[in-house]
Amino acid sequence: MYKVFDVHTHTYPEAIAEKATTNLGRFYEFVCAGKGTYLDLESQAEENNVQGYLLFSVATNAHQVEKVNDSIASLVDLSRSHGFHTMGFAGMHQDYPDFEKEILRCKKLGLKGVKIHPDIQGVDINDRKLLPLYDLLSCLGMGLYLHMGDNRPQYRFSEAEKLLDVLELFPRLTVFAAHLGGYNDWEHSVPLLKGKKNVYYDTSSAIQFLPPEKSREIIGQLGAENIMFGTDYPVANTREMLDFFMKIKLTDSEREDILWNNAMRILRPDDDL
């Protein structure tokens, strides 16, 4: 059985998990498969050989930022105490008043980067408000995880062209472009993003919507060495996403890399252990 590192998980405190997953499902017009709590996520680990996670949550307004980050840091500690190779990315909102103060605090908490969901937050990837944040992350060597893509006309905040603007301004910034670079927008986004340096991808909310041969084609274009396995929990559960992944025609080496090795090499979750 392959070892698995899940690089795309949204986890919430027990008190708000039901509301958060309901709102997420309402935004995307589906029902989330998971409860949204870390313990529900972990309950799927043993039967699927999951040995590590990247945890994050989205700050939908500036007032949520610090609570989100305290929660993620606490859940990372819990996960590690259970023996997992787990790390966390902070949430940030474009209207938060002091990026530097909060990011430095998050760095002390052990968080390794920042997650932005442009469409839910209502902000373009290349919005001027976010540029100081990107500069700070680049200087600190912290990663930027971005939701990418949507084919609904009212949600064009995370188009690939807008990411290209950011990459040109901050060539040293490490970017994780979720959903194989563009949820439901692959024909447009993949040709623009392929070959870009310091950009990595995950399989979440992508491979279940694509024929296996199309997933294989996109993985070939973006490079299997640049792609990591993700579930987008609580959107989907581990087993169902692994079933979709195993239908893609890949070599054993490519499977091992996408499921585990690439995350160990790119994210390096054990560096501070």
Q: What confidence score (pLDDT) does residue 34 get? A: 93
Query: Which sign does the torsion angle of CA 25, 64, 184, 41 carry?
Result: negative
Q: Can you give the residue range of the structural domain that contains 152? A: 4-266
Q: What confidence score (pLDDT) does residue 273 get? A: 53
In a domain, 272, yes or no: no
What percent of the chain has a predicted confidence (pLDDT) above 70?
100
* Cα distance between residue 191 and residue 195, in whole Å: 9
What is the tally of structural domains in the chain?
1
**Whether the bond into 269 is cis, omega within 30 of 0:** no
Q: What confidence score (pLDDT) does residue 35 get? A: 95
Predicted confidence (pLDDT) per residue in 33-77, tens digit: 899 999 999 999 999 999 999 999 999 999 999 999 999 999 999
Range 93-119 average pLDDT: 98
**CA-closest candidate to residue 3, choices 52, 68, 40, 63:** 52
Amino acid at 257: D
Q: Is the pLDDT of residue 244 over 60?
A: yes
In a domain, 184, yes or no: yes
- CATH number where 169 lies: 3.20.20.140
In a domain, 179, yes or no: yes
pTM for this entry: 0.96
Predicted confidence (pLDDT) per residue in 202-240, tens digit: 999 999 999 999 999 999 999 999 999 999 999 999 999
In a domain, 271, yes or no: no
* Cα distance between residue 241 and residue 255, in whole Å: 13
In a domain, 30, yes or no: yes
In a domain, 273, yes or no: no
In a domain, 200, yes or no: yes
In a domain, 152, yes or no: yes
